[in-house]
Amino acid sequence: MSANDIATVVNQTITQYLSESGEQQKKRPCSGKSFTFRSPAITVTGAYCVSQLGDTLLELGATHVLLVADKLVHQLGLVSGCEQSITLAGIGLTLFTEVEGEPDTVIINQGIKVLKQSKADFVVGIGGGSALDAAKGMAVMIDHQGPLADLKIGGIASRKVGLGCIPTTAGTGSETTDITVIQDLEYGIKVPVKGPALVPDFALLDPVLMLGVPDHVTAATGIDTLTHAIEAYVSRETNPLSKAYAYHAIETVIKSLPVAVGCGDDLDMRYEMSIAAYKAGIAFSNAGLGLTHAIAHQIGAQYHIPHGVANAILLPYVMAFNALTCEKGYAELAVAMGIKVESMTQRESCNAVIQMVRSLVQDLGLPNSLTVYNINTGDLPQLAERAMLDICLIGNPRQVTATQIVVLLNRVLANDFPEGYC
């Protein structure tokens, strides 16, 4: 076949492909699954890199910034470096420091009001996942009003203001993800809103800002990172790039999180964890999550359980449930976790990985059951129904019913960890 003949065949095939429906396209035999991969355009890392904030904003064309900060983080003086760097760069600044706890529709609307008054062309969030999600919510919802449920379904593709994130916990990875999680006060649920416009234009990871995070927050947010990486690795929507990021995030969490919890002033471990959170964020933003997050969003909203703690309690149970369909995927993670796999069967490696996650949660002093949270068993069917509607469930490797979620939650309540896969 001549080069021209090959070009003709290729063109015909592409024309045919473009004329097919999405379903038909998916059924085509293909040696490489297609996927789109997104991350912030600029990532700045390292101790004291907050001093580069002004230059980064100038590079992105900002003229006036709305700085959205966690209230406590502001009180601790952790925002002053950002303020100085922005002012030194000759960029206008408006401060919004009212974010306390996980964001809801009220705080988003308050921020949008300030954003409109300030005429800022850039929103920068600084704080844990709560402040970052608040900033992200304001930046996109100023142009996309409407019930959260509609935004969740439609996905948000456009944004008129710039967006940057500076995490002070390691963490959620919100600084890199295409998600913001907002509490819908009307329905008492947490709604993950997703879309390309939610990926920040820049992420700035300065571990110095994380040195004073209390040990229980370091532990909970670190397990959130681990959950992102494990769920992304075995997600139905995973891809080779997400798997690579997730694998290395897991390796780092196992090595660095215990030291970061036990020795909060260890700058190297804070740095390692800031990168791990970012990697796990990139992994799941492009690959999806799973059942742990689908349930954690519901019990977190209903019983005010911090997000990382909810994940810590649920993750081992969900892994035992999912292992039926992703034993191989979990087993692959054994090496990343430093488990000696020689002479182990796949099932033994998988079990060792689940056991390692349980031990880590226990070592870090996090709860491993829901007993302390006064959960009413009568609430479980409704919580399960809500989890079934959470967009994170799409990535879960095993199919699941509301009845199975109730059984799983009853096990967690009774501290009854299963022996096999169920």
Judged by CB under 5 A, the number of residues near Fe ion is 1
If you search the block for the tokens 């939650």, which residue do you land on? 409
CA atoms of 203 and 125, how far apart (whole Å): 10
Judged by CB under 6 A, the number of residues near ligand NAD is 31
Q: Are strands 64-70 and 92-99 parallel, antiparallel or unpaired?
A: parallel
Establish if 172 lies at the interface with ligand NAD (CB under 6 A).
yes
Contacts of 11 (CB under 8 A, 6+ apart): none
**Between 125 and 162, CB nearer to ligand NAD:** 125
Closest CA to 289 of 307, 275, 304, 271: 307
Q: Which among Fe ion, ligand NAD, none contacts residue 195 (Cβ within 5 to 8 A by kind)?
A: none
Task: Classify residue 213 by its DSSP letter.
Answer: -
**What is the closest distance, in whole angstroms, from the C-beta atom of residue 28 to ligand NAD in the complex?**
32
Among residues 54, 127, 162, 395, the one that binds ligand NAD under rule CB under 6 A: 127
Establish if 207 lies at the interface with ligand NAD (CB under 6 A).
no
Q: Are strands 202-205 and 64-70 parallel, antiparallel or unpaired?
A: unpaired
Name the closest residue to ligand NAD (Cβ). 128
**Identity of residue 204:** L
Q: Are strands 202-205 and 189-194 parallel, antiparallel or unpaired?
A: unpaired
Residue 50: exposure state from Cβ atoms within 10 A (0-12, 13-18, ≥19)? buried
**Identity of residue 401:** T
Of residues 86-105, which lie at the interface with ligand NAD (CB under 6 A)? Answer: 102
20 SS3 class: coil
Q: Print the binding letters for residues 219-238 with Fe ion: x by CB under 5 A, - otherwise.
A: -----x--------------
Establish if 213 lies at the interface with ligand NAD (CB under 6 A).
yes
CB 175 within 8 A of CB 132: yes
Establish if 178 lies at the interface with Fe ion (CB under 5 A).
no
Of residues 42-71, which lie at the interface with ligand NAD (CB under 6 A)? Answer: 70
CA atoms of 304 and 306, how far apart (whole Å): 6
CA atoms of 270 and 259, how far apart (whole Å): 9
Name the closest residue to Fe ion (Cβ). 224
**What is the closest distance, in whole angstroms, from the C-beta atom of residue 419 to Fe ion in the complex?**
28
Q: Which among Fe ion, ligand NAD, none contacts residue 208 (Cβ within 5 to 8 A by kind)?
A: none
Establish if 298 lies at the interface with ligand NAD (CB under 6 A).
no
**Between 173 and 397, CB nearer to ligand NAD:** 173
**Between 296 and 354, CB nearer to ligand NAD:** 296
Establish if 129 lies at the interface with ligand NAD (CB under 6 A).
yes
Establish if 311 lies at the interface with ligand NAD (CB under 6 A).
no
**What is the closest distance, in whole angstroms, from the C-beta atom of residue 384 to ligand NAD in the complex?**
19
Establish if 173 lies at the interface with ligand NAD (CB under 6 A).
yes
Q: 10 Å Cβ neighbour count for 272?
A: 20
Q: 10 Å Cβ neighbour count for 88?
A: 12
**Between 54 and 222, CB nearer to Fe ion:** 222
Task: Classify residue 300 by its DSSP letter.
Answer: H
Establish if 290 lies at the interface with ligand NAD (CB under 6 A).
no
Q: 10 Å Cβ neighbour count for 1?
A: 8
Q: Which among Fe ion, ligand NAD, none contacts residue 212 (Cβ within 5 to 8 A by kind)?
A: ligand NAD
**What is the closest distance, in whole angstroms, from the C-beta atom of residue 394 to ligand NAD in the complex?**
15
**Between 91 and 124, CB nearer to ligand NAD:** 124
Among residues 139, 181, 234, 364, the one that binds ligand NAD under rule CB under 6 A: 181
> Phi/psi of residue 109, each to 5°?
-65, -35
Q: Are strands 179-184 and 189-194 parallel, antiparallel or unpaired?
A: antiparallel
Q: Mark out the alpha helices in 41-155 (DSSP H runs).
A: 53-59, 71-75, 80-88, 105-118, 129-141, 148-154
Which positions lie near Fe ion, rule CB under 5 A? 224
Which positions lie near ligand NAD, rule CB under 6 A? 70, 72-73, 76, 78, 102, 127-131, 133, 168-169, 171-174, 177, 179-181, 209-210, 212-213, 217, 221, 224, 307-308
